[in-house]
Structure 1
């Protein structure tokens, strides 16, 4: 894994509130690893599009997968630069004016050009599953050759990346602090809420350990 700061180009340089920008891979990669849903920006026939999809980081690259006929995947393989965005929302910042309301968040933006992956495809797709639900891949039926052939897997090297993070309290004008208006932060978290059992499951089948462990988490993205 590469370490140290990425080269700060004009494309990834944080201009406004530049102190929130992070360019060190050792800080960026853990933020990527905490989540599994990204939004991918790309173009088709000159039109900008953004779609959500699952991802995983392995080394200095992100991986996406989809059906063999997936339009977004084929557009990315045409040589355009993909833009991948990942965001975790941590809190609502309630200030004394609407202008100063904000959100506490952690975000990462990655740029890179896609490459098709055929080697170790089944292994990487299993890592996708375990990235979302640790321990799940070993419990399920392995993918068939037909299923693997119907799946398009792409690798997007992390050529450029930047994180932007906001934490802390509201920042109001000094003259507003004595206004008598309540201000503060409503902290947010994402956590597993409940399990819906498949109706075709055997009635006496207990939840596997990896599901119990997943449900015990107090927050998914901390």
Structure 2
């Protein structure tokens, strides 16, 4: 009996991980540092620098842990993906994803997608025109406060089910789209506006972000997901 259970488990594992998976992304994979001045309804970047973290490298580590050989495609037509809001109901998004996956001969598509739709004045549109899609932000009006932000979502499209999924994350597995913390010392140089105590700030925020990305991909790959409501049949 135990041997039978082991054989069944191996078969299930092989079925689950025999899927052909690809990734498409329209975000900047490099984490950034931005110093900005506060405006009336947005932030105005004054300095934007790259930091030493590449999201693509980190996601590749996760796929490797899952023994997955994942392809990356750069010919995805993002105009066909709509806005993922009520106005997308009339746009044939699922038709495009179905056609794309059939053409590429893949079963599942992981989508890293920059947020492109906001309701009036929202939080995330303040980061829309930043060079980076995630990173550390310091502001001229807060000498000891640094923020972490990201303005993208991660989804999975299943060709077999013709469904777009979001990860079903619980408390402790996700982070808010922006985090803020007041540190004991100043977070940017008053003259150069470059980040001060960068190791302290990055070591505080980056593990939280990496944990969110890991949980997101694990849930999407392992089936702990929720159908995107706007496309429910």
More helix by share: 2
Q: Under a length normalisation based on structure 1, what TM-score does the superposition of the two structures give?
A: 0.27
